[in-house]
Chain A
């Protein structure tokens, strides 16, 4: 810790990171504080760059790309795979031919992923607030979701189920019924989570009014995902760029107006109900046994983009097809990348002990950001 002068006032510099208990991943935030109150923030995200964009344009051909981009993030792996696949399919020109069953299986994967991610972050937030008990409880509930995913796709978080032109495993009748049973249990635990985040005095008092982002600010800084929706911005890429059947199923965009940390949590909780509904609809709407994989003969030849709603918000893929097996450029803009610029602004004036919950309420995923 060292003391420096900012605007004639004595400030204490507190570094947080690159490793910190509140952070699951490495990021460095440096706070200049004056008696616990944060005055200035600077950050550095240069710890986890792995060159995945480069490797996609030099090493792997496009059929392997969905598996490679799944390794960008451990939690929202399938969101990356789907966005990449949809962009590739648009680039090849077969996105109109993808069968309904494929869309349904992809939707189930993405929504399961969203469920476990929201449970994870809300549990983690409770832990950062010092509420170990809720953390344990929510992660126990998350275990059911992971088991469900294991049953469906053969892995707990890295589903690897999407490939260009389809999906590579189907959900059979028997598993379908077991999923429906599991969903009931999951719904119950979401109810529990909702109760915790609306009723529990400790959490509500801690999170209420923390880090308020007004609607104008949210627009100005281009927030995405639950963080934007908590400030009243009605945006959801599942509706805006619909690769599945979300519009047919009437997905509801959940918004709140408070814009504080509690609202961000609650948006996530309510989204979980919506996700469960989407999984049910997707299971019911199509039946197994249809064709699940198209034959892909062409190479990517056009420029294509895909916006997909990852658990953390808008995920953007741009693929430049050159007619060769390896695309010319793959651009990945991850949700956290859009949510970081506002952090220094909301953190100013906050007491230092409130910084970890505030940071976690934005649900940062730094491995995604670094790529």
Chain B
């Protein structure tokens, strides 16, 4: 696991990611007690290990896209942008959710959590 901040995570990923040796798995976000964080998952063909790059961000902070380093990353980024409401550079609106669905459904909104869960379940 690699800890990184919003300033230097791109450098760290650039150092890590060599297309022939490292496979890009995906990007994910998680909202815990410490706040929001974005995780980038890689798999190393040589050591057969899953490597996680963890970047903690604040709500409403702009996250630069890594798709100039890791080409297929844009899809995962747009996904978390839709599901978590994270501002990602160059994102396309409503790529993953339909225009009339609830915004940022995976964030823990304390009040409406149950309601959202029920809504999701019904769908």
- Chain A positions near chain B (C-beta within 8 angstroms): 44-47, 49-51, 53-55, 58-59, 216, 219-222, 235, 240-241, 305, 307, 314, 316, 318, 320, 328-329, 331, 333, 337-338, 340-342, 370
Residues in chain A near residue B116, CB distance under 8 A: 54, 58
Contact with A along B85-109 (1 / 0, CB 8 A): 0000000001111100100011000
Q: Contact partner of B95 among A46, A331, A341, CB < 8 A?
A: A46
State whether A51 touches B105 (Cβ < 8 A). yes
State whether A341 touches B117 (Cβ < 8 A). no
Complex: A99 Cα to B25 Cα, angstroms: 29
Complex: A301 Cα to B25 Cα, angstroms: 23
Residues in chain B near residue A318, CB distance under 8 A: 28, 41
For chains A and B in complex, what number of residue pairs have CB atoms within 8 angstroms? 94
Complex: A37 Cα to B50 Cα, angstroms: 41
State whether B76 touches A54 (Cβ < 8 A). no
State whether A305 touches B32 (Cβ < 8 A). no
* Most chain A beta-carbon contacts within 10 A, residue among B72, B95, B123: B72
Q: Contact partner of A49 among B19, B96, B119, B121, CB < 8 A?
A: B96
B10 within 8 A of A: no
Complex: A241 Cα to B23 Cα, angstroms: 14
| CB nearest neighbor in A for B119 | A51
State whether A54 touches B117 (Cβ < 8 A). yes
Residues in B52-78 with C-beta less than 8 Å from chain A:
70-72, 74-76
Residues in chain A near residue B94, CB distance under 8 A: 46
State whether B30 touches A329 (Cβ < 8 A). yes
Count residues of B near A (Cβ-Cβ below 8 Å).
37
B120 within 8 A of A: yes
Chain B's interface: helix, strand, loop or mixed, by majority?
mixed
Complex: A51 Cα to B23 Cα, angstroms: 27
Residues in chain A near residue B20, CB distance under 8 A: 219
Complex: A305 Cα to B101 Cα, angstroms: 29
State whether B117 touches A46 (Cβ < 8 A). no
The 4 closest A-B pairs by CB, nearest first: A58-B117, A51-B120, A341-B72, A333-B26
State whether B50 touches A305 (Cβ < 8 A). yes
Known: A54-B105, A307-B50, A318-B41. A222 touches B24 (CB 8 A): yes
B43 within 8 A of A: yes
Shortest C-beta distance, B41 to chain A (Å), equals: 7
Known: A46-B94, A46-B98, A55-B117. A220 touches B25 (CB 8 A): no
Q: Contact partner of B75 among A219, A314, A337, CB < 8 A?
A: A337
Residues in chain B near residue A316, CB distance under 8 A: 25-26, 41
State whether A337 touches B41 (Cβ < 8 A). no
Complex: A58 Cα to B23 Cα, angstroms: 31
State whether B26 touches A221 (Cβ < 8 A). no
A–B Cβ pairs within 8 angstroms, 29 of them:
A45-B95, A46-B94, A49-B97, A51-B123, A54-B106, A54-B116, A54-B117, A58-B113, A58-B116, A58-B117, A59-B120, A219-B20, A220-B71, A222-B25, A222-B71, A240-B48, A241-B48, A316-B25, A318-B41, A328-B32, A329-B30, A331-B26, A331-B28, A333-B25, A333-B41, A337-B75, A338-B72, A341-B71, A370-B96
Shortest C-beta distance, A242 to chain B (Å), equals: 10
State whether A44 touches B121 (Cβ < 8 A). no
Complex: A51 Cα to B117 Cα, angstroms: 9
Residues in chain B near residue A340, CB distance under 8 A: 75
State whether A219 touches B19 (Cβ < 8 A). yes
Please give 11 more A-B residue pairs, beta carbons under 8 A apart, in addition to A46-B94, A54-B106, A55-B120.
A45-B96, A46-B95, A46-B97, A51-B105, A51-B123, A58-B113, A305-B41, A305-B50, A318-B41, A328-B32, A331-B26
Contact with A along B7-29 (1 / 0, CB 8 A): 00000000000011001111010
Residues in chain A near residue B98, CB distance under 8 A: 46-47, 49
Residues in chain B near residue A216, CB distance under 8 A: 19
